[in-house]
Amino acid sequence: MPRKKQLPIFPYDFINEKADEYEKSKWMERNQKRATQLAVQYLFDTKLTNEKEKEPPFTESLLVLDLGCGTGFSTEVLINNGFKVIGIDILPDMLLKARLKNANIDLILADINYLPMRHKIADHLISISSYNFIIHDKDQNRERIKLLNSTAQSLHNILKNKGHIVIEFYPKDDQELQMVIESFIHNGFEGYMVKNKPNQKSGQTFLLLRKRVGNGKL
């Protein structure tokens, strides 16, 4: 898959032969794994740590949900870092590639917006280059805001009280970035935003989140 200047079109750039191109792209693999390794570091960022927490920041028993895992580039990095991992994706073609690479990983075919998970099951959540696409079929801002809010509330329910979320995504503009940020603030999260180019509203963005214990501002 050649490097693209624009965001891919979901789901068309991730199915059929496009799934093969994605899986075989060394550029894509390198960038997805690099972003995931950064996300792992951000999970334990000191700014996210509640001073009242007495538990160690990492144990091998931690369960991480890899939301929008695709062909498993991000899942592989998480496993290599010692986590228990469940990879979740809505596209069968992408999950098939992940399964062919590793028959032992736990995978679930599901929509990030409607996750079939019980409350407080996950220690942490990570999403690499997928969160843009949860509103791909919503044309009206009202619809997008409603879906983003319901998804943020669902993630809040799934996450354990001391858990963290790291989302790496590519907002197309300031409006989309603000909609995503506000959906988390309005649904019980607080945290920080990390960008290599802070003045650039689009482009690679990391949101570092935890359940609210303060004013909730990003």
Our measurement of the distance from residue 18's CA atom to the centroid of its chain's CA atoms, rounded to an integer in Å, reads 21
Mean pLDDT within 98-123: 94
Give me the pLDDT at residue 12, please.
86
Residue 144, domain member (yes or no): yes
Question: Mean pLDDT of all residues in the chain?
Answer: 89
Mean pLDDT within 103-121: 94
CA distance 85 to 127: 12
Residue 29, domain member (yes or no): yes
Give me the pLDDT at residue 26, please.
96
Question: Alpha carbon of 148 to those of 66, 110, 120, 197: distances in Å?
Answer: 18, 16, 20, 25
Our count of domains for the chain comes to 1
Residue 84, domain member (yes or no): yes
Range with top average pLDDT, 1-15, 159-173, 185-199: 159-173
Residue 86, domain member (yes or no): yes
Residue 7, domain member (yes or no): no
- The set of residues, in sequence order, having a beta carbon less than 8 Å from that of 51 and lying 6+ positions away, is none
pLDDT digit string (tens) for 156-191?
999 999 999 999 999 988 899 999 999 999 999 999
Q: Report the candidate in 118, 126, 119 with the shortest Cα–Cα distance to residue 88.
A: 126
Give me the pLDDT at residue 96, please.
95
Residue 216, domain member (yes or no): no
Residue 137, domain member (yes or no): yes
Mean pLDDT within 198-207: 81
Residue 70, domain member (yes or no): yes
Q: Is the pLDDT reported for residue 75 higher than 90?
A: yes
pLDDT category, 212, cuts 50, 70, 90? confident
CA distance 142 to 175: 13
Which CATH number does the domain housing residue 155 bear? 3.40.50.150
Q: Specify the pTM.
A: 0.90
DSSP state of 208: E
Six-digit token string for 120: 């407080």
More confident call, 60 vs 182 = 182
H/E element, 127: strand 122-128
Question: What own/partner pairs with CB < 8 Å and gap ≥ 24 does 102-111 have?
Answer: 102/72, 102/75, 102/76, 105/72, 105/75, 105/79, 107/69
Range of the domain at 69: 12-43+61-211
